[in-house]
Amino acid sequence: MGEFKVHRVRFFDYMPSAIRAMAFNVHTERLAVARVDGTVEVFNIADNCFQEKVIPGQDGRTIEALCWAGGRLFSTGLNGEMVEYDLENLRAKYTVEAYGGPAWTISSNSQGTHLAVGCEDGTVKIFELLEDTVQFKKNLDRLKNRVLSLSWHPSGTQIAAGTLDMIRVFNVNSGHATERMMVDRAAGASKKKEVLVWGVVFLSDNTIISGDSAGKVQVWDSKMGTLIRTHLVTKWDVMALSISQDESSLLAGTSEGSVVQFQFLSANLDQPDREWVRTRTLRSHSHDVRALVHTETAAISGGNDTQLVVRPFMEKVVQSSKESAPRKITFPHRSLVSCAKKAGILLFQFPERLELWRLGESQGNGRPGEELSVKRKPEALIHLKRKGDDHICCSALSLCGGWLAYASVSSVRLYQLQYDDDSITIAKVKLPKVLRWANQLCFSADSSRLFASFSQSSVLVFALGQSEAKYVHTLKPKSVSRQAVHLMSASDDGKWLATANSDCEVHVYNLSKLKYHCTVPVYSSCPSAMAIHPTGSNLVMVHADQQIFEYSLVQKEYTEWSRTLQKIGLHSSWLNRATPVTHVSFSTRNPDHIILHDMHMFCIVDKSLPLPEKDSDLYNQKQLCSMTEKARIKDSHAFKICESFKNLLCVGLLEDHSLVVVERPLLDITTRLPAPVRQKKFAT
Amino acid sequence: MATLYEGYTLCGLVKSPNSLDSGIHGIELESDNDHVVVTDSTRSVTLYKLSDQKPLGSWTVKQGQSLSCPAVYNAGTKEYVAVSDGKVIRVWQAGDLLLDKAFKATLSSTVWRVHCVPGGAELYVLFSRGAVRLLDALLAAPQQPIEEVLGQEEAIRWSAGVAAETQNFVVFTTEQKGSHFLYVQRLKPNSLQKFCLEPEDVGLAPLSYSACYRDGHISLLYLYPNGHVYKSVVSVRSPPLEEVGEAVPLPRTQLLCLPVGETLLEAASALFLDDDHIAVVGAPHPAAGAGTNFLCIWNTNFQTLQAGKEMAGKLYGQLWSYASKLFIPHGKSLTVIPYECPKSSLASALGKLKHAGAKVSRVPACVPSWSAVFNGETAMQSEPMETSQSNAQHSQSSSDGPVNQVLDLIKTATVEVIRKEVEAVLSQADIQGLQPWLGQLAGSLVSRSMADPSFYTPSTLATLVGTRCLCHSVCPELLMLALEKRDYSLVQLCLQSFPDVPENITCCCLKTFLSVPDGDVETASLEPGSLSFMETLTAQEHGTKLNGFSAAGGEHHHHHPERTSGLLVHTCPVGVHKAVLLNEVLQTPYSDTFLLPHLKDLSPQQVMLFLQYLQFLYFNYSEDSFEQEDKSRAPTLTQVLDWVCLLLDAHFTVLVMTPEARGLLVNLHSFVKYQVRFVSELGKLEGSLQELQHMREEKHIGQYSIQVIKLF
């Protein structure tokens, strides 16, 4: 296969934001995750937990709670506003002021007709869902303290509200409180410290389960207002509760990072009396668990350690299948790094800034495994802060490094860069007014055009001239999907442009004719990465379920190799990988080589070699290394997987055939997290 | 394993100094196990409480009178009975303060003993002439005539009361003109049996008797001054109706042969403790020389010593046992020693010293060689199983016959005939089956060789040893015989194949090897493997000399150029053959505590020579150029060093005082010092190398690096 010089880059300071809230839509199997910086991400749990959509955050908007109401997604935050999101254009649709101070919680009834918002001033506000907006309906009886948690009774007539030291039950119709349940303060701590009821769950049998800052999970009878059972779960706070759909299992997330499961079981066989029994403890977080979702088969948790963890319940899934493997989602499923392969320049995207780096140079050559001495160190060229409050949602760098563009939900900016020997000049280029925002940006290979995906999967084409950009054309797909484009790729020969949206549609446009060319047959899983081959006019797509397709744009059909691959089937080790492929690129020297990478490895697929046998080892580089040349030929297969580099954010191939590997060690992320709650460990 | 616990003194002995008699006439159990009645030979009867170790009461007869029979306690009437002056029976109770005021009855004949049968409520009176009466009947008519049972010059030596299931017995032994008889007097209905004890060596009379009833038999245990302990058994079920007169010979079995050494025992006693154990007092401890001040418990099944205790002061050959306590008068006190005899097993019996002389069984001893067992001959393991089956009959008979023939042959035939016969036996049957007989063969060959100095069968013995079925314990004299006959190849063979050569024998061999002139050994045909090893070792030493560099690591540190010893380092101080033999000694298993005392017997010259040889080996082993080809025939470096340490331990003072040894010791010291320093340096090096490895693991990857990778 050959030797590669690898630029191992670890100076991308990417820092994910802590997870603050989650909401799960049972009908669409979409999980909405809100982070502390205001970003809302939508994961498709059915499609290998693929991160379908990212709604960028905004300075000043913090999210405390998320909720689905039908297919609509709402959030409230400490700025006192309620936000509904536009899931097609990936932006906030509108905001409604709740007029109750910081809004701590939001909850919709099971019918999806009303929303309840708990506010700092002690009010619970009921909003009615209208076609395109929400309308304030009424306040329930005002409480003395802030409302931290809310839960509707499945019938929609009652609502339980957790506040300081207390749980109140309201009749929604009358608006009056019907029950008052006092929650004990923590035994050891100061008696003056109020106990915060962080979570309540209202069950259809009129049981209320609460979790509070004293570490208790308590079961209440809401009719009598009496305490049935107290489980002391932790010394710290119980910050999140989640109930399964059939109300037989409950999860409680603690500040220690553990998730405790309770199940509604009968103590003895043949006895109808059931009670909530603590059954198991999952430990997958180092920090507070702030958000929890109980799906049919798994516990999904997130918190201050920024990771989204999916832990399947072993009794609910088939053993040792792909579903049974626990997942940790640390990095976004899209590229934050752009690589100008002709110039050796990297662009790093942060929510509030862009960084432009020039790669270093090495001295001489070396043997495999060696580290070369760095002749020229990498250099930070530009530190570009965004304008406005909206976070950057996408960015692009032309292959020559001469153009740079970024977009937020409110603006798109284009810059021209000029490199002299030592200095660099950056000039803003005005874009026509048509482009108010964009989901994806992309330059053509010769840097003459900028493509920006816009609403309803359309793409605007701009011609780049000397310090100006002219609107050329709008490419529109022949489809009914209104979903936003999340992948866009232009071919190196300038002939083709491909876009993919979260409805799994891949559209191809002919750039020479500036018109729609074709749509690739829709596959059930969302494409996670794609690229067009520089010479062969073949589109290579990798989907969230790890399938690889190669589609001939000229013939408008899958290529021979792709069909062979589908016929033989991908190796099970390949299909069982937990992270999606986020980047596809091609070798300039060998047209048969496709370079793919996910978080844990990168792979060079050599189409000329036989596919791996079912029972052979997919990860066979180490074995091949120790073999003789002859045996190696016999044993080698198409998938050359390199696992030497971990926690990959980007793997790209430069013009000079050297690789760029951008790593972000998880340890570096962990060390920047705030200290977790102190736990007594052995001998400390 | 039987145990003797810490004893305590019950009372002092009232006796005249230097008297041979202990002053204790008898000890009898009182009402319960905690009280005993002690009658001393003068005038008094004392009641002791054992748990308090103090007297509760004492009764004394008037001055001038004496108690002729130990007092017994009648549990039925709660009375004490004693006889004074041979004919006066005295009966009293605990409440009676003065014996003179108690009941008295004068009899018509002299009383030997009053016996109380254990567990019974009746007392029997045994008259000196052999008649037995019930006490109650006697007291009803004290002056009734008493018949004479014993003949002229026949006198009672010992008597006892024995309780069987339904009947009580009084047994007593008599002596008449050097013959010894046993009488068993059955009571209710009365009948008397007389037995004649088998005569022991001329003039030996049993020192002590003991009787007990077990499984329908009365067992009699008696000890002779030559240390032989016999047991005879009399059935209680066959009441003989014929008149007393003809003494029936009483068969006996020898239980033990106590090691007595040259002298005969004077005051000793043997006592039944239980089925398997006997207590012996007044016989020497087998491990402690000729002193007889020992109380020992022997297991009669395995003839093993189970427990032993040295008693202070003179022993009087008296011993009583009641309620798991031994009563033994010694020196100036009467001591009570509690004991325990748990059910014996082979494993526990093997625990303590097994005295070879005590072995009396006529069956050929089958001591399997451990190495043969461990070398995993499955045939060997399955053999005992089959032995009891039909097949075994065949193999037994097939091998028995020829072996017995050969055994007979050995006593008379010539060397050549014996060789052929033995080879024939070995070739026809499987050796494992023959194993028990091989020891016998070798044993008889050895004993004939020892008896007849002109007779010696080296090749036959070598063949027998070569089977690897023999071990030292099967024929202990073999190795010594070979040494005596200067048959060094046989000695080597024995040292190689015997797993259990005792340390003193090893030392004997060593001594012989060291003192024998080289010329004598060179003719011996030693095992070629071991010879070639020594030859390469010495050739190596010549080779290095020829090449002009002597690579001995120690040499660089010989700052004390002691000419003589410096030379010794590089040349083997003994001939090759001698060295081979010494190597065998080095490889013999030993335990240093047992070896050390014997090692002290070496003369300073021998020590020097041996030390020089060990040093030669040590230096050669430490050289880089040295490579052992055949490891099996060579002592390991550890063995060599262990022997150096032992030798220095045993003879350090001698060596320090010997001027010739100085150079050798200094040399050895500096070499060891050098090696210790070298090893400590290596240790340091190891530490730093480990650190290096540690460092490599934690390779830091910086923010940016350019690497080269290769994909295949």
Model confidence pLDDT, tens digit, residues A89-148 = 888 999 999 888 999 999 999 888 999 999 999 999 999 999 888 999 999 999 888 999
The pLDDT of A407-426, averaged and rounded, is: 88
Name the nearest CA neighbour of A256 among A230, A223, A226, A232.
Answer: A232
Residues of B with Cβ-Cβ distance to A604 under 8 angstroms:
711
Residue B57 near residue B46, CB atoms below 8 Å: yes
Tell me: pLDDT of B309 over 50. yes
Q: Which of residues 328-367 of A touch B (CB under 8 A)?
A: 360, 362, 365-367
From CA A106, how far away is CA A121, in angstroms rounded? 15
Residue written as token pair 């191939």: A653
Is A369 in the B-facing interface, judged by CB distances under 8 Å?
A: yes
Residues of B with Cβ-Cβ distance to A369 under 8 angstroms:
707-710
Tell me the three state secondary structure of residue A640.
Answer: strand
Model confidence pLDDT, tens digit, residues B489-529 = 888 888 888 888 888 889 989 998 888 888 888 888 888 88
Pairing of strands A659-663, A2-9: parallel
Instruction: Check residue B569 and give its pLDDT.
Output: 52
Tell me: pLDDT of B400 over 90. no
Model confidence pLDDT, tens digit, residues B430-486 = 666 666 677 778 888 888 888 888 888 888 888 888 887 777 877 788 888 888 888
| Nearest-by-CA chain B residue for A365 | B708
The A81-86 sheet, strands edge to edge? A65-69, A72-76, A81-86, A91-97
* Cβ pair A640:B711 closer than 8 A: yes
Check residue B266 and report its DSSP letter: S
* Cβ pair B701:A8 closer than 8 A: yes
Instruction: Check residue A307 and give its pLDDT.
Output: 92
Instruction: Check residue B351 and give its pLDDT.
Output: 40
Residue A185 near residue A176, CB atoms below 8 Å: no
| Nearest-by-CA chain B residue for A628 | B712
Looking at B474-517, list the stretches that DSSP marks H as alpha helix, in order from N- to C-terminal side.
Answer: 477-484, 488-497, 503-515
ipTM score? 0.79
* Cβ pair B704:A11 closer than 8 A: yes
Q: What is the dihedral of CA B509, B514, B516, B522, to 10 degrees?
A: 90
In degrees, to the nearest 5, what angle opens at C-alpha A138 toward C-alphas A133 and A142?
Answer: 130
**pLDDT tier, A502 (very low <50, low <70, confident <90, very high otherwise):** confident
Instruction: Check residue A231 and give its pLDDT.
Output: 92
Residues of A with Cβ-Cβ distance to B709 under 8 angstroms:
3-4, 6, 368-369, 642, 644
**A397-406, B232-241, B555-564: range with highest mean pLDDT:** A397-406
Cα radius of gyration rounded to whole Å, chain B: 36
Q: Which H or E run includes B332?
A: none
Average pLDDT taken over every residue of chain B:
77
Average pLDDT taken over every residue of chain A:
89
Instruction: Check residue B552 and give its pLDDT.
Output: 43
SS (H, E, C) A157-197: CEEEEEEECEEEEEECCCCCEEEEEECCCCCCCCCCCCCEE
For chains A and B, count residue pairs whose Cβ atoms are closer than 8 Å. 76
In degrees, to the nearest 5, what angle opens at C-alpha A429 toward C-alphas A425 and A435?
Answer: 145
Distance from CA of B694 to the nearest CA of A (A): 19
Other Cβ atoms closer than 10 A to B33 = 13
Distances (CA, A) of B704 to A337, A362, A396, A509, B709: 16, 11, 23, 39, 15
Instruction: Check residue B238 and give its pLDDT.
Output: 65
Residues of B with Cβ-Cβ distance to A374 under 8 angstroms:
704-706
**pLDDT tier, A75 (very low <50, low <70, confident <90, very high otherwise):** very high
Distance from CA of A333 to the nearest CA of B (A): 23
Distances (CA, A) of B362 to A225, B359, B366, B444: 96, 9, 12, 14
Tell me the three state secondary structure of residue A71.
Answer: coil
Distances (CA, A) of A656 to A650, A652, B61, B192, B390: 17, 11, 131, 126, 91
Model confidence pLDDT, tens digit, residues B267-283 = 888 888 887 788 888 88
Number of separate helices (H) and strands (E) present in chain A:
5, 58
CATH of A19-243, one of 3.30.1330.40, 2.130.10.10, 3.40.50.300, 1.10.3720.10: 2.130.10.10
**How does A314-348 read in b/e, with b if 16+ C-beta sit within 10 Å?**
eeebeeeebeeeebbbbbebbbbbbbbbbbbbbbb
**pLDDT tier, A244 (very low <50, low <70, confident <90, very high otherwise):** very high
Tell me the three state secondary structure of residue B135.
Answer: helix
Model confidence pLDDT, tens digit, residues A327-383 = 899 999 988 999 998 888 999 999 999 999 998 888 877 888 788 888 888 888 889
Distance from CA of A534 to the nearest CA of B (A): 23
Residue written as token pair 């060295």: B579
Instruction: Check residue B395 and give its pLDDT.
Output: 39
* Cβ pair B704:A8 closer than 8 A: yes
Tell me: pLDDT of A155 over 50. yes
Residue spans of beta strands (DSSP E) within A255-386: 258-266, 274-283, 289-294, 298-303, 308-312, 327-329, 337-340, 345-349, 353-358, 361-362, 371-372, 374-376, 379-385
Return the structure tokens found at B527. 């095992």
Residue A476 near residue A488, CB atoms below 8 Å: no
Model confidence pLDDT, tens digit, residues B477-494 = 888 888 888 888 888 888
Q: Which of residues 268-307 of A touch B (CB under 8 A)?
A: none
Tell me: pLDDT of A624 over 60. yes
**pLDDT tier, A480 (very low <50, low <70, confident <90, very high otherwise):** confident
The pLDDT of B534-557, averaged and rounded, is: 53
Model confidence pLDDT, tens digit, residues A282-296 = 888 988 999 999 998
**Residue of A3, A11, A642 with shortest CB distance to B708:** A3
Residues of A with Cβ-Cβ distance to B705 under 8 angstroms:
8, 371-372, 374
**Residue of A8, A632, A636 with shortest CB distance to B707:** A8
Q: What is the dihedral of CA B495, B498, B500, B502, to 10 degrees?
A: -30
Q: What is the dihedral of CA A114, A116, A117, A118, to 10 degrees?
A: 180
* Cβ pair B706:A5 closer than 8 A: yes
**pLDDT tier, A227 (very low <50, low <70, confident <90, very high otherwise):** very high
Tell me: pLDDT of B374 over 60. no
Burial class (CB in 10 A: 0-12, 13-18, 19+), B184: buried
Instruction: Check residue A34 and give its pLDDT.
Output: 94
Check residue A62 and report its DSSP letter: -
Residue A344 near residue B671, CB atoms below 8 Å: no
Instruction: Check residue B563 and give its pLDDT.
Output: 39
From CA B304, how far away is CA A299, in angstroms rounded? 74
Model confidence pLDDT, tens digit, residues B595-642 = 888 888 888 888 989 998 998 888 888 775 555 555 667 888 888 888
| Nearest-by-CA chain A residue for B706 | A7
Residue A212 near residue A238, CB atoms below 8 Å: yes
Instruction: Check residue B435 and give its pLDDT.
Output: 67
In degrees, to the nearest 5, what angle opens at C-alpha B393 toward C-alphas B392 and B395?
Answer: 60
Distance from CA of A633 to the nearest CA of B (A): 9
**Interface residues from chain B to A (CB-CB < 8 Å):** 701-712
Instruction: Check residue A620 and give its pLDDT.
Output: 82
Tell me: pLDDT of B548 over 50. no
Check residue B336 and report its DSSP letter: E
Is A378 in the B-facing interface, judged by CB distances under 8 Å?
A: yes
What is the residue extent of each domain of chain A? 19-243, 244-329
Q: What is the dihedral of CA B605, B606, B608, B612, to 10 degrees?
A: 140
Check residue A391 and report its DSSP letter: P
Residues of B with Cβ-Cβ distance to A662 under 8 angstroms:
none
Residue B156 near residue B165, CB atoms below 8 Å: no
The pLDDT of B324-351, averaged and rounded, is: 74
Model confidence pLDDT, tens digit, residues B669-693 = 998 898 899 889 898 888 888 877 7
* Cβ pair B711:A5 closer than 8 A: no
| Nearest-by-CA chain B residue for A603 | B711
* Cβ pair A642:B712 closer than 8 A: no
Tell me the three state secondary structure of residue B396.
Answer: helix
* Cβ pair B704:A9 closer than 8 A: yes
Residues of B with Cβ-Cβ distance to A371 under 8 angstroms:
705-708
* Cβ pair B705:A371 closer than 8 A: yes
Phi and psi torsions of A450, nearest 5°: -120, 130
Model confidence pLDDT, tens digit, residues A434-471 = 888 898 999 998 889 999 998 888 899 999 988 788 99
Return the structure tokens found at A86. 């536009």
Q: Which of residues 220-249 of A touch B (CB under 8 A)?
A: none
Tell me: pLDDT of B397 over 80. no
Percentage of residues of chain B with pLDDT beyond 70:
81
* Cβ pair B711:A621 closer than 8 A: yes
Helices B415-428 and B431-451, axial angle in degrees (round to 10): 170
**Residue of A5, A625, A642 with shortest CB distance to B708:** A5
Instruction: Check residue B361 and give its pLDDT.
Output: 34
Residue B230 near residue B224, CB atoms below 8 Å: yes
Return the structure tokens found at B545. 């000399």
Instruction: Check residue B368 and give its pLDDT.
Output: 45
**Residue of A372, A377, A642 with shortest CB distance to B708:** A372
